[in-house]
């Protein structure tokens, strides 16, 4: 009977501690974008588009789905997707046949669990021109 009382008190203390540690945060990550090679390339030659999701919160950097889009008249075209690593890095290998502008995006992420509310806002990189001659 004494053990049952001790377990009940411990459960109440843990529940109150979990509630006390509950929190909410909102983060606005940024998305960088670069390409290699930096100059003009030949048609079909490999071009690496890479960058990083930057945020003060790990949940907003790691395991984020980055989408690579090509700018065009009308709706932009989705070219590829990549899941970021622990550091928020992403990388795409492309073989463009003509000059194009590309950019990357991450969607909004909202995770809610007992007493925790984590919101990572959506982000878009700048446009990068891939010159092909």
Tell me if the bond preceding 37 is cis, omega within 30° of 0.
yes
Tokens of 89: 């890095």
Nearest of 100, 97, 91 to residue 130 by alpha carbon: 100
Classify domain 23-130 at the CATH topology level.
Answer: Immunoglobulin-like (2.60.40)
Domain boundary assignment for the chain: 23-130
- Written as tens digits, the pLDDT of the chain (133 aa) is 677 767 666 666 555 554 446 678 788 999 999 999 999 999 999 999 999 999 998 999 999 999 999 999 999 999 999 999 999 999 999 999 999 999 999 999 988 877 788 899 999 999 999 999 9
Residue 107: HSE in the Cβ half-sphere, 13 Å Cα cutoff: 9
């Amino acid at each position: 009977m004494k053990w049952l009382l001790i377990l009940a008190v411990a459960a109440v203390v843990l529940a109150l501690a979990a509630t006390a540690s509950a929190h909410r945060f909102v983060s606005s990550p940024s998305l960088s974008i670069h390409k290699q090679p930096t100059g003009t390339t030949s048609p079909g030659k490999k071009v690496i588009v890479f960058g990083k999701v930057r945020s003060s919160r790990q949940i907003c950097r790691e395991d984020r789905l980055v989408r690579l889009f090509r700018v065009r008249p009308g709706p932009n075209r989705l070219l590829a997707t990549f899941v970021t690593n622990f550091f928020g890095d992403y990388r795409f290998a492309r073989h463009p046949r003509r000059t194009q502008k590309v950019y990357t995006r991450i969607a909004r992420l909202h995770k809610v669990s007992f007493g925790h509310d984590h919101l990572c806002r959506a982000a878009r990189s700048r446009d990068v021109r891939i010159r092909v001659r």
